[in-house]
Structure 1
Amino acid sequence: MAGLEGTEQPRQRVGTAPARWSPAVEDELALKALELFGDPTLGEVRLPSRPESAVAARRLTQSVVMRHWGLSERLTEHAVLLVSELVGNAVRHTGARHFGLRMLRRRGWLRIEVRDPSRGLPCLLPVREMDVSGRGLFLVDKLSDRWGVDLLARGKTTWFEMRVADR
């Protein structure tokens, strides 16, 4: 996964200055993620169950939600954050080698799904002010309009939906 390591900035190449963040650099990295993993609007894409895959999932989400679907920056920020939380849960808690990411848009809604092979259900826990972890599903619950888990014959799909204004 060259160029998709756990940092948000591209790696410095030998003999060149480090690339600074810009929309053009972010677009290029999103295109690389689309080339490497596929388009999650056309079907489920598989990503390796490693922490750095959260970066790729965020880039795919940003690319699809804002650039492809043309939705608002605020909605895109929330979708990117929630994808990161669901991917983090799939990576940390399932022991899987891969997880799936899929994005759907229908009139008035967007839906993002993360599928993994574990049938262990995520738990929405009470969050206290000083907690340093365990806030993922709390954020999903607060920032999405609906969310849930669908048990499958082999694993589960954790999803969230957000209302969107159709033009």
Structure 2
Amino acid sequence: MAGLDEMEHPRPRNDPAAADRGMPGSEVEPVPLPRGPVSTALDPAAEPTLGEVRLPSRPQSAGIARRLTAAVLLKQWSLTPQLAEHAVLLVSELVGNAVRHTGARTFGLRMLRRRGWIRIEVRDPSRGLPCLMPVQEMDVSGRGLFLVDTLSDRWGVDLLPRGKTTWFEVRVADR
């Protein structure tokens, strides 16, 4: 169940239930990785691996968050293009939720790497919890957390004194 305080959602890598949910990893359509510079509007010293990067809560910020994610995962951490592609998609979903549903002026993006894992967090000032909804084949919206649940190894929400952090984690092969 999603949306519980400090609740994580672990899943084994080869989860047969994922196929039952209608979206095994092999059927996910690839999302093109963003290209081009991050943005001149973004502080050039912004580094989501060193601390939280604050972005304005508007739709254009999803593109900035995607480019930051791709740059960190591919260039800085040298992870696989497929892993970066999935992470870019999931960041886009979390940022979209923060922009559409919180009424915030800004949100924060942070990326962490520890042995065998990456974790990406989106923090916003709303304490409204996201909810994983059942997804039907013909649904045109409401699939964001379904994708996060399907493509990540763990995800969750941590309530903060003022707001929340929605996060996902993915296993990575350390070299």
Cα distance in 1 between the residues matched to 2:40 and 2:61: 13
Which of the residues 60, 82, 89 maps onto 2:90?
A: 82
Alpha-carbon separation, structure 2, partners of 1:63 and 1:165 = 18
Alpha-carbon distance in structure 1 between the residues aligned to 2:39 and 2:105: 24
Give 1:31 shift: 7.2
Deviation digits for residues 95-137 of structure 1 (CA, Å, limit 9, x no counterpart): 0000000000000000000000000000000000000000000
Verify: 1:132 aligned to 2:140, yes or no: yes
Aligned-pair Cα RMSD in Å: 1.8
Name stretches of at least 5 consecutive residues in structure 1 with no aligned partner: 1-22
| Map of 1:150 onto structure 2 | 158
Q: TM-score, normalised by structure 1?
A: 0.81
Structure 2 counterpart of 1:15: none
Tell me if structure 2 keeps the 8 A contact 1:40–1:101.
yes
Q: Which residue of 2 aligns with 1:58?
A: 66
Q: In 2, distance between residues paired with 1:40 and 1:165?
A: 21
Between the aligned partners of 1:37 and 1:52, the Cα distance in structure 2 is 19
| 3-state SS of paired residue (2:99) | helix
- Contact 1:66 1:73 survives alignment (8 Å): yes
Alignment-mate amino acid for residue 85 of structure 1: E
Count of paired positions: 143
The normalised TM-score by structure 2 is 0.78
CA change 1:37–1:92 in 2 (3 A) is farther
Matched, 1:46 2:33: no
Higher helix share: 1
Match of 2:113 in 1: 105
SS in 1 for 2:108: strand
What letter corresponds to residue 149 of structure 2 in structure 1? D
5+ residue gaps in structure 2?
1-32
Identity among equivalent pairs (%): 76
Give the drift of 1:34: 6.4
